[in-house]
Amino acid sequence: MPNKTLWQEYCWQNVAQGPMSYQFWELGEVNGAGHDPEDHTSGSAAAVIALHGWLDNSASFTPMLEHLLSQSDLTRVNVYALDFAGHGHSFHRPQGCFYTIWDYAIDVVQFIQAKELHEVWLLGHSMGACVAPLIAAMLPAKVQGICAIEGLGPVTTVASETPRQLQKAIVRQGQQQQRASNVFATAEDALLARLGSKMTLQEPAARLLVERNLLAKEGGFVWRSDRRVTLPSPVRYSEDQIWAVLDGLSMPVTLVVGDALQQDVGLSKRAKRIPHIQWRRLSGGHHLHMENQVSACADAIIELLTINS
């Protein structure tokens, strides 16, 4: 790995509910002699907060960041690739709690505040792209740009469905408490389970995510992620609420989509709410940023950084 790059895979920052795990990448020329590798403040570097998808973890961005290592003329960038609460090596919420989309956003706001980051760019994939606009709404003076991959704001529910959503969350919570967690005899068994999930992944990408999410225990391996992240939220935003959030985004937004979302009507309506948005329509699946469009997605965040430089 080039000397000009600092990569630390296992770092932690305390937020209100517990320690948030993250990977720290310092790309481009470091500060030189006397630079403290444990100092993860941004200094003069651009600060990128990378937010992964549901049931993924910070390894979601490893292929993109490894691609950026090969860029010889890269301006200094500090990347904080977070593990959301309940994912990867981050804390689990207290017993009885749900994992709501706004709580994920609040965790990230607390991370940014704890690191004393003054200007940040948000890079989000899937659920991370759902969370990013909420963070920007909370910190409009700090967030300088958003690169949203395969998503733009949270899943919504019409107001009339509120009672049903509440009931579904409580029923599912009770059902889950009656079931034991899955134990895999080998790490390869866990990999096969991930490859067999509904969200199709190629093996190299799945292996990256699985390796960060496995915990060895007596009798085999279990997922580090909190199984409660699979429970439905008791309450969801309405589409009008998300439109209000998107209407207020004054920073540039780059929206990267693969094959399935290029003609999505709901996504197009959301995108039209944002004054400064650029589409990037690429060939690929939901994890295109880890698979066949690594360089294109990496280029998208670098171009976004240059807008305000």
Question: Quick one: pLDDT at residue 43?
Answer: 64
The pLDDT of residue 3 is 37
Q: Give the lowest-confidence range in 39-48, 79-88, 288-297.
A: 39-48
Whether the Cβ atoms of residue 151 and residue 125 lie closer than 8 Å to each other: yes
Indicate left, alpha or beta for 26 from its phi (over 0: left) and psi (-120 to 50: alpha).
Answer: beta
- Rounded to two decimals, the pTM is 0.94
The residue ranges of DSSP E strands in 52-94, in sequence order, are: 77-82
95 contact partners, CB below 8 Å, separation of at least 6: none
Both structure tokens of 194: 């991930």
List the single range of 33-47, 74-88, 146-160, 256-270 with lowest mean pLDDT. Answer: 33-47
Which residue type, as a one-letter code, is found at position 267?
A: L
Q: What is the mean pLDDT of the chain?
A: 92
CA neighbor of 106 nearest in space, from 137, 148, 143, 150: 137
Under CATH, domain 6-156+237-307 is a member of which superfamily? Alpha/Beta hydrolase fold, catalytic domain (3.40.50.1820)
Query: Residue 278 above 60 pLDDT?
Result: yes
pLDDT of 2 reads 38
The CA angle 116-20-27, to the nearest 5 degrees, is 60
Question: 14-47, pLDDT tens digit by residue?
Answer: 999 999 999 999 987 655 444 455 667 766 688 9
Each domain of the chain, given as residue ranges in start order, spans: 6-156+237-307
Name the least confident of 68-77, 183-192, 209-218, 293-302.
68-77
pLDDT of amino acid 71: 77
Per-residue model confidence as pLDDT tens digits over 143-177: 999 999 999 999 999 999 999 999 999 999 999 98
Half-sphere exposure of 83 (CA within 13 A, CB side): 29
Name the more confident of 102 and 35: 102
pLDDT tens digits, one per residue of 111-138: 999 999 999 999 999 999 999 999 999 9
* Helix-helix angle 187-195:203-213, to 10 degrees: 130
Quick one: pLDDT band at residue 309, thresholds 50, 70, 90?
low
What count of other Cβ atoms lies within 10 Å of the Cβ of residue 260? 11
Count CB atoms within 10 A of the CB of residue 169: 18
